[in-house]
Amino acid sequence: MYGVMEIEENMEEPGLHQPGAESVARADLTSRWPGRIVLTGFRGTGKTTVGRLLARMLGYAFLDTDQVLEERLGSTIAAFVQANGWEAFRRAERELLEELARVRRVVVATGGGAILHRDAWERLRQGGFVVWLQADGATIGRRLAADPVSAVQRPPLSSEDPEREIEEQLALRTPLYAAGSDLAVDSARLTPEAIVTLIHEQLVGRSARCS
């Protein structure tokens, strides 16, 4: 079993993950940062890639829901879904989101379908900051086709061909991503590093406005 609760305990430890030489002003700002930064968006928009970099920059822990689920389920997502179906995967995913709603000082990269769990999503969002990574269907299609983890982590969501599936699912989910997020970033035109810088600037700007 993956230790989400261990992370939660760690997060309570004062000073853990604090970057070394920070000015008092910066420390004041960071103390107002949301306890949880959550990344959402369609498959291939860069949630896992950006989340890992962002956590490093903020000095937060990083958690990718798909990686946690694969450890818990003892199987790749593709094999699990083939054996048990999408509903069973979604149940495990929803339970994990409920647990993560209690974890702080963490960047959470969610799977693209986590936004479907409306109530659990709202609880995860509370006290946190949700970033929606956007990309057009063609960019997503290219990235998914080129990414070696697609075969094990991204089994088909429907019986449509990949291009049509992306367009259909994007159309269905876009209103959910829009309603369930606090900031939208176009990942098709920016490098992961530039996206992290942009999110960081937003956090600094927002915490300065709150002071």
Ligand X SMILES: Nc1ncnc2c1ncn2[C@@H]1O[C@H](COP(=O)(O)OP(=O)(O)O)[C@@H](O)[C@H]1O
Q: Which of 116, 167, 115 has its CA nearest to residue 141?
A: 167
Residues 6+ apart with CB under 8 A from 54: 37, 39, 60, 107, 196, 199, 200
Binding at 191: pick from ligand X, Mg ion, ligand S3P, none (beta carbon under 5-8 Å per type) = ligand X
As given in the structure block, the two tokens for residue 57 are 């920059």
Binding at 137: pick from ligand S3P, Mg ion, ligand X, none (beta carbon under 5-8 Å per type) = none
Binding mask 72-111 for ligand X (x = CB under 6 A): -------------------------------------x--
- Interacting residues with ligand S3P between 3 and 42 (CB under 6 A): none
As given in the structure block, the two tokens for residue 196 are 């992290």
Strand 128-134, strand 36-40: pairing: parallel
Nearest residue to ligand X, by Cβ distance, number only? 46
Question: How many chain residues are in contact with ligand S3P, going by CB under 6 A?
Answer: 11
Binding at 147: pick from ligand S3P, Mg ion, ligand X, none (beta carbon under 5-8 Å per type) = ligand X
- Interacting residues with Mg ion between 42 and 61 (CB under 5 A): 47-48
Cβ-based nearer residue to ligand S3P, 112 or 128: 112
Q: How far is the CB of 76 from ligand S3P (least distance, A)?
A: 10
Contact 131, 38 (CB under 8 A): yes
Rounded Cα distance between 149 and 114, Å, is: 18
Rounded Cα distance between 154 and 150, Å, is: 5
| Cα 182 to the center of its chain, rounded Å | 13
Per the annotation, does 46 bind a ligand? yes
How many Å is the Cα radius of gyration of the chain?
17
Q: Does 77 bind ligand S3P (CB under 6 A)?
A: yes
Cβ-based nearer residue to ligand X, 145 or 171: 145
Cβ-based nearer residue to Mg ion, 47 or 117: 47
Contact 2, 68 (CB under 8 A): yes
The burial class, CB within 10 Å (0-12 / 13-18 / 19+), for 80 is buried
Residues that bind ligand S3P (CB under 6 A): 43, 47-48, 66, 77, 111-113, 153-154, 157
Known binding residues for Mg(2+) are: 48
Binding site for ligand X (CB under 6 A): 41, 43-49, 109, 143, 147, 187, 190-192
